[in-house]
Structure 1
Amino acid sequence: MERPDIPLAQLHAFVVLADELHFGHAAARLGIAQPPLSQQIRRLEDKVGHPLFHREPGRVTLTPAGRELLPVARRVLGELSDGLAAARAVGSGRAGRLRIGFSASLALTVLPGLLRTFRERFPDADLDIREMTSAPQIAALHDRTIDIGLLREPPSGEQELGFRTVLTEPFVAVLPASHPLASQRTVRVAQLADAPFVLPPRDVGPQLHDRITGLCTAAGFTPRIAQRAVEWQTVCALVETGLGVSLAPASIRRIRLGNVAFRRVAPGTTRTRVAVAWRRNDPNPLVDHLLTTVGNAAPDGS
């Protein structure tokens, strides 16, 4: 089928005249003189091959061809207007799609407030939120399957990615409530030397895993890892069953399990870093808007 070559100005003139059914009124509404309006309509009628209006003294009415064309012309102009508005919104970063990966434990800390603030500022943005651990987030950023990552312990030496610290937090000991150390307000890391550990696998978050095992090494022992679980919620559930103990970011205390005790650890100087990650020079303006929302959040959360 041959694609019609019809200027949008002609369709617009046709719709306005169909609304007004008066050449003078339609020309005034369009901000042009009446002769140019008549020329626009004549050219459109030549393209259609049939008159679109009956022209009688003091009266203009639509022909059957005009009545058939009118809803199509309205739809075309409406879709174009909507498309232009959407393109402008996306171009300015007020709309569009932003794919965000996040570590599950961050749903207990920074994620809810960050997303709430962002949605208040950019209600037309389409957010695609994906739960994934830190290492897969880094891979997904490189593969361009997510635009933003919220993760723990970002890797060093990344040239393509940028990182901004959102907060840091201390570690806590995670113990079965019946454990003898649960009666203490503070647990020395060295006191956990003989206990089996429950930890996430190293490959899902190498930097965080090494920071935890580094705490144990500094206390004079290598942790004996008896069980592994990807998510901290599962780690805590396994600790509750008595399968071992763990060292975890302090925000894990917000997981409510009746038979799990969370205790401060000594020394308490080691902290875990939570960061937002993105591709440098990403053209999606929503990335910059989210980074602005993150702002200069003080990295001293607990």
Structure 2
Amino acid sequence: MERPQLPLQQLHAFVVLAEELHFGHAAARLGITQPPLSQQMRRLEDTVGHALFTRAPSGVKLTPAGRELLPAARQALTGLADGLAAARAVGDGLAGRLRIGFAASLALTVLPGLLRTFRERFPDVRLDIREMTTAPQIAALHEGSIDVGLLREPPAVEPGLVFRTVLTEPFVAVLPSAHPLAAQRTVRVAQLADSPFVLLPREVGPGLHDRITGLCAESGFTPRLTQHAVEWQTVCALVATGLGVSLAPAGIRRLRLKGVAFRGIGPDAARTRVAVAWRQDDSNPLVARLLGAVGQDPGPGTGRPAC
């Protein structure tokens, strides 16, 4: 047999009457007259199947059934109030869960300051941070498994997604410490033409991969790719062993790996672009909150806000 659903308005009136034990006082507290309050109590008693109050000229008293109902009624009203407050907080973008994908190199530049700023403003939001390269981030955005992406060199156009540039930083040459060019303060990209290259695979970051090979093409050569690594730390570690050289975002210098030399590639060095990405039709208010925090505190590093 299905249990009857008790109207919350009746439960609220019941709790107030149980606290006041006087119809006149309870009605005044509820902002109604006594007849509507009496009608509500009669309907509630009909639902329960038993009297909830004994009535007397001096006031009312709870019956055993009424005393049994009171804690449950209070719990139901408290649960509703808590649920409404939680729903408002989520709807206002003050609570809830936000899933963020980020390129590993951004942990050295923009990510720490962004997360610090966001957590200070919205301490009740649960952050789910996932390290991902560019291509997996775009796929995860389309699938809905992340809400926001922080990535490098996004595609010019991606249906259903929006990209906003938030940071640019120059490229640097990554050299083994024993490499002849490591003795120079700066190097030209063309000087790397005879060295083997270590790079991220194109399938995990096509934009950044093409940007680096494009810089080489502008300098008159096609890089000879001998090693691939998914993470920049691994790229640098392979460079340190003498397996090749690389071009990387300047923030990678913060890794400070032994056996690796980072050198600028000139005062007019090309810059790599960092963007925040989100679904165009996403109505999650937390996405807008994060977008508002992006660029407020980019944190330490060599990057600069995009113009």
TM-score by length of 2: 0.90
Match of 1:72 in 2: 72
The CA distance in 2 between the partners of 1:129 and 1:206, in whole Å, is 22
Match of 1:50 in 2: 50
Match of 1:129 in 2: 129
**Given the alignment of the two structures, is residue 248 of structure 1 paired with residue 273 of structure 2, yes or no?**
no
Which amino acid in 1 is paired with 2:284? N
* Alignment check: 8 A CA contact 2:13 2:37 kept: yes
Q: CA deviation at 1:283?
A: 1.5
* Alignment check: 8 A CA contact 1:166 1:297 kept: no
Match of 1:25 in 2: 25
Q: CA deviation at 1:276?
A: 0.7
1:192-219 deviation per Cα after TM superposition (whole angstroms, max 9, x unaligned): 2222221111100111001111222222
Match of 1:180 in 2: 180
The CA distance in 1 between the partners of 2:109 and 2:33, in whole Å, is 63
Deviates more, 1:156-165 or 1:131-140: 156-165
Which amino acid in 2 is paired with 1:204? V
Q: 1:61 to 1:237 in 2, by over 3 A?
A: farther
**Given the alignment of the two structures, is residue 194 of structure 1 paired with residue 181 of structure 2, yes or no?**
no
Which amino acid in 1 is paired with 2:16? V
Partner-residue secondary structure (3-state), 1:203? coil
TM alignment of 1:257-268, pairs within 5 A: 257-266=257-266, 268=268
Deviates more, 1:252-261 or 1:203-212: 252-261
Match of 1:13 in 2: 13
Q: CA deviation at 1:178?
A: 2.6
Q: 1:238 to 1:61 in 2, by over 3 A?
A: farther
The CA distance in 2 between the partners of 1:113 and 1:178, in whole Å, is 35
The CA distance in 2 between the partners of 1:5 and 1:275, in whole Å, is 51
Partner-residue secondary structure (3-state), 2:178? coil
Partner-residue secondary structure (3-state), 1:187? coil
* Alignment check: 8 A CA contact 1:100 1:129 kept: yes
Unaligned 5+ residue runs, structure 2?
none
* Alignment check: 8 A CA contact 1:175 1:182 kept: yes
The CA distance in 2 between the partners of 1:159 and 1:96, in whole Å, is 27
The CA distance in 2 between the partners of 1:267 and 1:226, in whole Å, is 29
TM alignment of 1:208-247, pairs within 5 A: 208-247=208-247
Q: CA deviation at 1:292?
A: 2.4
* Alignment check: 8 A CA contact 1:175 1:245 kept: yes
Q: CA deviation at 1:51?
A: 1.4
* Alignment check: 8 A CA contact 1:165 1:297 kept: no
Match of 1:112 in 2: 112
Match of 1:205 in 2: 205
Q: CA deviation at 1:297?
A: 9.0
* Alignment check: 8 A CA contact 1:102 1:132 kept: yes
TM-score by length of 1: 0.91
The CA distance in 1 between the partners of 2:305 and 2:41, in whole Å, is 68
Match of 1:276 in 2: 276
Q: CA deviation at 1:279?
A: 1.4
How big is the alpha-carbon RMSD for the aligned residues of Structure 1 and Structure 2? 2.2
The CA distance in 2 between the partners of 1:192 and 1:90, in whole Å, is 52
Deviates more, 1:85-94 or 1:242-251: 85-94
* Alignment check: 8 A CA contact 1:189 1:267 kept: no
Which amino acid in 2 is paired with 1:32? I
Deviates more, 1:183-192 or 1:49-58: 49-58
Match of 1:36 in 2: 36
1:140-166 deviation per Cα after TM superposition (whole angstroms, max 9, x unaligned): 112222221110001013232111111
Match of 1:291 in 2: 291
Unaligned 5+ residue runs, structure 1?
none
Partner-residue secondary structure (3-state), 2:203? helix
* Alignment check: 8 A CA contact 1:170 1:250 kept: yes
* Alignment check: 8 A CA contact 2:94 2:125 kept: yes
**Given the alignment of the two structures, is residue 92 of structure 1 paired with residue 92 of structure 2, yes or no?**
yes
The CA distance in 1 between the partners of 2:293 and 2:142, in whole Å, is 23
The CA distance in 2 between the partners of 1:256 and 1:43, in whole Å, is 75
Q: CA deviation at 1:53?
A: 2.2
